[in-house]
Structure 1
Amino acid sequence: MSGSEYPAAAFDAKAFLRTVPEAPGVYRMIGSDERVLYVGKAKNLRRRVSSYFQRTQSSPRIAMMVAQIERVDITPTRSEAEALILENNLIKQLAPRYNILFRDDKSYPYICLSGDIFPRLAYHRGAFAKGGRYFGPFPNGSAARESIHLLQKIFRLRTCENAVFRNRSRPCLLHQIRRCTAPCVGLISDADYAADVRLATRFLDGRANEVIDDLGARMNEAAERLAFEEAAACRDQIRALQAVLHRQFVDSGRDQDVDVITAVEADGLVCVNLAMVRGGRHLGDRPQFPSSAAGCDADDALLAFLDQHYGEHAMPARILVGHAVEAARAQLAELSERPVAVVAPRGAAERAWMEMARNNARTAIAARNQDAGRIGARLAALREALDLAESPARIECFDISHTMGEATVASCVVCVDGAMKNAEYRRYNIAGITGGDDYAAMRQVLERRYSKLVEGDGVMPDLILIDGGRGQVSAAHAVLADLGLESIAMVGVAKGEGRKPGLETLIFADARAPVHLSPDAPALHLIQEIRDEAHRFAITGHRARRAKARVGSRLDDIAGVGPTRRRRLIEAFGGLDGVRAATVEDLCRVDGVSRKLAEQIYSALH
């Protein structure tokens, strides 16, 4: 459904609002030349859209946007969930100028307890799978991994993959160092393991005091039964848990879940900082910068972050905000299905959390500005060193990796404005060429990469780096010439004597003579970083492809290794990776494997 259309000078907001339903949906503010100014969602479209046309605006930024509106389009949906999905899709597709966009909230890490009979404790990012329980989000990966490490130490839950778990025949090293109770080989009963899972679940839910009380009761009950070893184990768990609560976290002394959110505006940047407190424990914080923030101030950024973050994640019982408290409370009331306390900090602990959040936001702004200055200087140095018309905003680098022609993989890494963009990296499995022909591999990857540009798909780079010498550069330039893209600047990075950093030679695609930059030149350092990242990405993909090809097929292809011996080998070493890591002597210990056969297996896999 689309709203009425009006010329800019005759936009009648009152008449338009009479046509807007009181239903959930998405609205789009349209300016001149059909440019989309803003995309938003609402629980009640009429109420939300009418708020933009009041006599007083919430901020100069909103007033500036409203002055440019020529039309408002609306799309009612059946539910708020549908409105959220549609809003996200439209923002990504249209990139409206006045939307304040933050990094995708789905990148927050979680801890997962799988739905298996013996649940697995795992680090998780991305979409949730059915059957598992997810705890989080955590502000960063290190906080989640530290929590997993603590849970292993206290509750001794398994962390191994199911394929390894099903094929174990003896306890692993984690059991020996008292980090796992070895349910894979039956050293703990279903009921006892389930009890440990329940305790870990309570701990992750922030109910640490209940866990300690439960362990204390179990310790006393075991002591009364004269089961002193069991009582001592409970005692050790209590001590470890108390030590964790005392030493590892900033502790409020109360079991409470709180998010601490503030926005700081300084030196031309706005930073929103989110700190997470779970069970009274401060888990760390995470600064975020808007990727699109035309004319926004700290209040605008804070409200935009609340809308995006809590559109994807559950709200804790209490949310502390450093400013715009009333506006934040009104905004979250639309998103929340239950009462949530949105308040300014009270008490010494909450004020300390908020001050920490503000200081971290200021530190992040200072670091970002310093990095921006350094990156700008390096890009300018690169422009001068390569004699480019402008500093390259987008750089793409290619590398080829193989082992004597086997499992050839090409990589393409992307650097935008001096920062590596991991989400845009791509690997290409090279096939249909003579093994070891790097020139043919380079031709194939560039054809596959840049033929999409000719078809109108993809982004044009400002500079292409080739990890190689004159031959690779010539092959790459020929591909670009065939595609009509020879105007893109291209440079080859040839390794120096002994492959020592600082001795690289820069090879140009045109008739210019090769260039040697000083080892301490900022331009060379940037080239080295991008080239090394392309090499790392290529060799990682090559090793994975080679290992899959070797282990997945060659074990079956070895004479004398049938289904029975293959199963025994996998069971003995806990999986295919274990077979590859085994020595000849290790292989000989497997029932039915002679020394001669062990040597054949080892040779085939290496």
Structure 2
Amino acid sequence: MQSSIFEPMDNASITLQVSTLPDSPGVYQYYDKEGKILYVGKAKNLKKRVSSYFTKTFDNNKTRILVKKIATIKHIVVETETDALLLENNLIKKYQPRYNVLLKDDKSYPWICIKKERFPRVFSTRQVIRDGSEYFGPYTNMKTVHILMDLIRGLYPLRTCNYDLSVKNIKAEKFKVCLEYHLGNCLGPCEDLFSENEYNENIDAIRNIVKGNFKESLHKFRSQMKQLASDLKFEEAQRIKEKIDVLENYQAKSTVVNPKINNVDVFSIISDELYGYVNFLQISHGAIIRSHTLEIKKKLDETDEDLLQLAIVELRQRFNSLSKEVYVPFEIDLGEGIKTHVPKLGDKKHILDLSKRNAKYYRMDRFKQAKIVDPERHEKRIMAQMKKDLRLSEEPRHIECFDNSNIQGSNPVAACVVFKNGKPSKKDYRKFNIKTVVGPDDFASMEEVVYRRYKRLLEEEHPLPQLIIIDGGKGQLSSALKSLDQLGLRGKIAIIGIAKRLEELFYPDDPIPLYLDRKSETLKIIQQLRNEAHRFGITFHRSKRSKQALDTELETIPGIGEKTIVQLLGHFKSKKRIAAASFEELSKVVGASRAKKLIQHFAKKE
């Protein structure tokens, strides 16, 4: 292994020094001018990988900032890509560079320990002592450990005392059996009542159980049960039968795939714009003996391949996995000695799908927690995801959506609803009466309201939205674009149209629509905007139609003019109250002559 350190340098010297890097696998480290580590990365070819940072144009702003800050480069050459993977992981955990994804290590996972001693004890612990004892785990939660320990104690009576049960001490009769012996939980090795060979056979069986292999224990118990039954020892045979039932019940709950699938690690990943969620399942004899999901915060727009590769190395180290075969959702290079497989069908695909579901459920739980505990993080994630999904240049913190509403051209109106940070901002909603369009012309109506809306915002110097959504297809979108052209706003505000039937998203000057995943949060927010605009527009339209219907009926009464109608509505508030009013009540408002005409009109309708 070789190390090289360059002194702080300017751009010209960076180019010079990068050109001297070796074409070998290794790990590179970037430092700023103050000597603080910025980033650690691995490479199959150090020269190609490092030089790409200074020759490529990056879309991600953080990567551009990182490159500007690099003042010193260090590199370590290793023998193989596997060594590079392991070294990268260790250096990230050691230095925790600002621009690397966060891999948090938890040292408090529980283990099951088989103590290195004569007549070994078996117990759970969170502390690993390097004294030759065997440790199985770590397990991701204590509940699994309790279940396994209860199973082990129910099948095999073991000692719990910490006496030194050496041959010399037992022969000297230093110890006496305790209450555990009298309760049947221990067979008394302290008084030499149980042979060391039989005890060690039980320990071997326990090793197999914690590894997920129940076959040998079941075979042994069945043989014992048959022998005891043959010797007419039915009570003892029944006790063995109960142990078989306990073991089979545990095995049935544990086995999820073909029992032939043994000693395999399964990894899957679900990600969004800000985080990746990697699930790890460890399979032994067809049973899941471990499940854990790791949340990784992205720093430099890392791909799923980057995150998964790093997470696999971390999780296998953390949980001490020595499996030689790994199931993954896509091709990935984990170096020599590890066989990767991308399942397509059958039991292997089933277990990979199960891992992916675990990652999804974990992500959903984190979303729910974020909404309650950290709403700002939830908003930031949603906005970043919308920016990516809709191919925007900035996060759509302020969105406005337009919808037209008319029935055969009558009472044409339009609505504009506003969302801020992904939530409705009802105080900013606006409704429009269509003024310049005659008849049912949705395209012209859309052109009018978009023009009026943004002409006013410009005049009053109010902030403009980052995104406009038009409820309609290409026609309505084109009409809205005409207004933006007139106002000089085209290209300054992102605008899309959404067609209702297939939820197609249309962009200016792009004939091919965009289809988002039906379950995506971005599409759900767009649908919520569209539905809210439709609801708001319809409510306004109904209100206008009702008012018009009322006004029209009153105007048909001979001798009742516009001023009288205004007086009546101002006092009685509704047509129903006018119709129910007495002659005296009406006379006080509009005089006896008009009151008589109103009474006669409503009397004819009864």
Query: What is the TM-score with the length of structure 2 in the denominator?
Result: 0.50
Residue aligning to 1:361: 359
For 2:23 and 2:268, locate their aligned partners in 1 and report how far apart those are by CA, in whole Å. Answer: 34
1:213 and 1:83, CA in 2 relative to 1: closer, same or farther beyond 3 A?
same
Rate the CA distance shift 1:216–1:209 in 2: closer, same or farther, 3 A.
same
1:197 offset after TM fit, Å? 0.8
On the 8 A contact 1:52/1:66 being kept in 2, the answer is no
The answer to whether the Cα contact below 8 Å between 1:65 and 1:98 also exists between their aligned partners in 2 is: no
User: Per-residue displacement from partner, 1:54-91 (whole Å, max 9, x unpaired)?
Assistant: 69999977975884444321356899999999867754
Distance 2:182 2:258 in 1: 34
Deviations 1:422-469 (A, max 9, x none): xxxxxxxxxxxxxxxxxxxxxxxxxxxxxxxxxxxxxxxxxxxxxxxx
Q: Match of 1:372, SS?
A: helix
- The structure 1 residue matched to 2:189, chosen from 177, 183, 190, is 183
In 2, Cα distance between equivalents of 1:206 and 1:194: 19
- Match of residue 30 from structure 1: 31
Cα offset, 1:326, TM superposition: 2.7
**Amino acid in structure 1 at the alignment position of 2:252:** H
In structure 2, what is the Cα distance between the partners aligned to 1:46 and 1:190? 53
Residue number in structure 2 paired with 1:462: none
Matched with 1:39 is 40
Could you tell me whether the CA contact under 8 Å between 2:254 and 2:288 is conserved in 1? no
Distance change (3 Å), C-alpha of 1:201 and 1:27: same
Are 2:320 and 1:320 equivalent residues in the alignment? Answer: no
Match of 2:121 in 1: 120
Cross-structure match for 1:201: 207
Q: What amino acid is aligned across from residue 153 of structure 1 in structure 2?
A: G
2-structure distance, mates of 1:59, 1:277: 40
Q: Residues 126-137 of structure 1 correspond to what in structure 2 (within 5 A)?
A: 126-137=127-138
| Cα drift, residue 200 of structure 1 | 1.3
Other-structure match for 1:3: 5
Assess if the C-alpha contact under 8 Å between 1:157 and 1:197 holds in 2: no
CA distance in 2, matches of 1:376, 1:118: 52
Match in the other structure for 1:270: 276
- 1-structure distance, mates of 2:315, 2:47: 21
Does residue 245 (structure 1) correspond to residue 251 (structure 2)? The answer is: yes
Measured after TM superposition, the shift of residue 356 of structure 1 is 2.6
- Distance change in 2, residues 1:378/1:291 (3 Å): closer
- Could you say what secondary structure the match of 1:364 adopts? helix
Letter in 2 for 1:120: R
Compared CA separation, residues 356 and 251, structure 1 to 2 (3 A): closer
C-alpha displacement of 1:121? 0.9
Aligned pairs for 1:326-405 (under 5 A) are: 326-327=331-332, 330=333, 332-334=334-336, 338=337, 340-376=338-374
1:388-411, Cα deviation, whole Å (9 max, x unpaired): xxxxxxxxxxxxxxxxxxxxxxxx
1:301 aligned to which of 296, 307, 315: 307
Q: Does 107-116 or 218-227 show the bigger shift?
A: 218-227
Aligned 8 A contact 1:270 1:301 in 2: yes
Of the structure 1 ranges 106-115 and 287-296, higher mean CA displacement relative to structure 2 is found in 287-296
Number of aligned residues: 365
SS in 2 for 1:250: coil
The structure-2 alpha-carbon separation of the partners of 1:347 and 1:78, relative to structure 1 and needing over 3 Å to count, comes to: closer
Judged with a 3 Å threshold, the aligned counterparts in structure 2 of structure 1 residues 84 and 171 are, in CA distance, closer, same or farther, namely farther
Q: Which amino acid aligns with 2:201?
A: A
Counterpart Cα distance in 2 of 1:121 and 1:140: 18
Indicate if the aligned counterparts of 2:86 and 2:313 stay in contact, CA closer than 8 A.
Answer: no
- Aligned partner of residue 310 in structure 1, secondary structure: helix
Partner of 1:288: 294
Contact 2:262 2:284 in 1 (8 A): yes
Residues 38 and 97 of structure 2 are in contact (CA less than 8 Å); yes or no, is this contact kept in structure 1? yes
> Percent identity, aligned pairs only?
24
The residue number in structure 2 matching 1:478 is: none
DSSP-derived class of the 1:286 partner: strand
Deviation at residue 225 of structure 1 after TM alignment: 7.5
1:319-342 CA deviation, whole Å, 9 max, x = no partner? 2212xx333xx2x225xxx4x321
For 1:92 and 1:222, how far apart are their aligned partners in 2? Answer: 56
Between the aligned partners of 1:30 and 1:74, the Cα distance in structure 2 is 11
CA distance in structure 2 between the aligned counterparts of 1:106 and 1:57, rounded to whole angstroms:
39
Alignment check: 8 A CA contact 1:28 1:36 kept = yes
Q: 1:256 aligns with which of 257, 262, 265?
A: 262
In structure 1, what is the Cα distance between the partners aligned to 2:374 and 2:207?
A: 48
Match of 1:141 in 2: 142
Residues 249 and 283 of structure 1 are in contact (CA less than 8 Å); yes or no, is this contact kept in structure 2?
no
Contact 2:265 2:281 in 1 (8 A): yes
Bigger drift between 363-372 and 78-87 goes to 78-87
Using the TM superposition, give the Cα deviation of residue 29 of structure 1 relative to its aligned residue in structure 2, in angstroms. Answer: 1.9
Instruction: Please tell me whether the aligned partners of residues 6 and 71 of structure 1 are also in contact (alpha carbons under 8 angstroms).
Output: yes
1:513-532 equivalence runs, <5 A: none
Does structure 1 retain, via aligned residues, the 8 Å contact 2:110–2:125? yes
- 1:250-299 deviations in Å (ceiling 9; x for gaps): 35333512222111113743211222222211235222212564433433
How many angstroms apart in 1 are the aligned matches of 2:328 and 2:57? 18
Query: Amino acid of the residue matched to residue 359 of structure 1?
Result: R
- Number of the residue aligned with 2:72: 71
1:239 is displaced (CA, Å) by 3.5
Partner of 2:549: none
Name the aligned partner's letter for residue 275 of structure 1: L
**Counterpart AA for 2:371:** G
Paired AA for residue 269 in structure 2: A
The question of whether the paired residues in 1 share the 8 Å contact of 2:280 and 2:315 is answered with: no
Q: Quick check: 1:139–1:283 contact (8 Å CA) kept in 2?
A: no
8 Å contact kept, 1:245–1:251: no
| C-alpha distance in 2 between matches for 1:282 and 1:175 | 36
- In structure 1, the partner of 2:153 is 152
Unaligned stretches of 5+ in structure 2?
378-606
CA 1:22 to 1:226, structure 2 compared with 1: closer, same or farther past 3 Å?
Answer: farther
Q: Return the letter of the residue paired with 1:314.
A: S
> SS of 1:191's equivalent?
helix
SS class of match (2:99):
coil
Q: Name the CA shift for 1:47/1:84 in 2 (closer, same or farther; >3 Å).
A: closer
Contact 1:216 1:238 in 2 (8 A): yes
SS in 1 for 2:296: coil
Alignment of 1:426-441 (within 5 A): none
Whole-angstrom distance in 1 between the partners of 2:181 and 2:357: 40
How far did 1:9 drift?
2.5
1:96 aligned partner, one-letter code: P
Mapped to 2, the partners of 1:243 and 1:280 lie a distance apart of 15
Structure 1 window deviating more from structure 2 (5-14 vs 193-202): it is 5-14
